[in-house]
A = this chain, B = another copy of it.
Amino acid sequence: MTRFSFVSVTFLALAALFFPALATAASASSEKDAIAALIERERKAFEAHDLDGVMSCYAPGDQLFVFDLVPPREYPSWDAYKKDWRELFAQFPGPIHNTISEVSIAVDGSTAYSHYVEDGTMTAKDGTASEIAVRITDVYRKIGGKWLIVLEHVSVPVDLTTGKPDLLSKP
């Protein structure tokens, strides 16, 4: 340990002792980073058709509940959602490219939540590529020291006057 880092550590320890809010803010920031990393890990697993990688982001058993983009109404467990993801990958075996934007993350103790937009281009069996921008909200719980998604909602807005979904919605 260099003298500089020793002084820094001592200063931070003293600062945390006398200004607990500082320590809390620093900790909340690193928890936000952990959630951001989880979102990015899932995005990459999605692009790689990595079913296990995607599912490692979700809480096990019936600790997970999902309202997904596609019917049926709900996916009330990890197993149900895994089946949904498996079908998506089977439907789009070709290249997938996703970008994530408008990310907002909030952390409160061992619960966190986020909203963001995922704009994806997926390639069907016949080579046809289709683009869709979905809106995602997630709630996370820290379970066994790891952040996992416990509640997910994925959708596109629907224009009720035309009866049509807006697959490429704009802010």
Contact = CB atoms under 8 A, between A and B. Distances in A.
Given A65-B104, A155-B155, A74 B171 contact: yes
B159 A70 contact: yes
14 contacts: A65-B115, A67-B157, A70-B158, A71-B157, A73-B169, A73-B170, A74-B102, A74-B135, A106-B150, A108-B108, A108-B141, A113-B113, A115-B153, A132-B160
A153 B169 contact: no
Given A68-B157, A155-B67, A73 B165 contact: no
A166 interface: yes
A111 interface: yes
Given A113-B151, A115-B151, A71 B159 contact: yes
B170 A72 contact: yes
Contacts of A139: 113, 137, 139
A111 B106 CA distance: 10
Interface of A: 65, 67-74, 76, 102, 104, 106, 108-111, 113, 115, 117, 132-133, 135, 137, 139, 141, 150-151, 153, 155-160, 163-166, 169-171
A137 B165 contact: no
B160 A163 contact: no
Given A73-B170, A155-B158, 10 more contacts: A67-B157, A68-B157, A73-B157, A109-B109, A109-B111, A111-B111, A111-B113, A113-B113, A155-B156, A156-B158
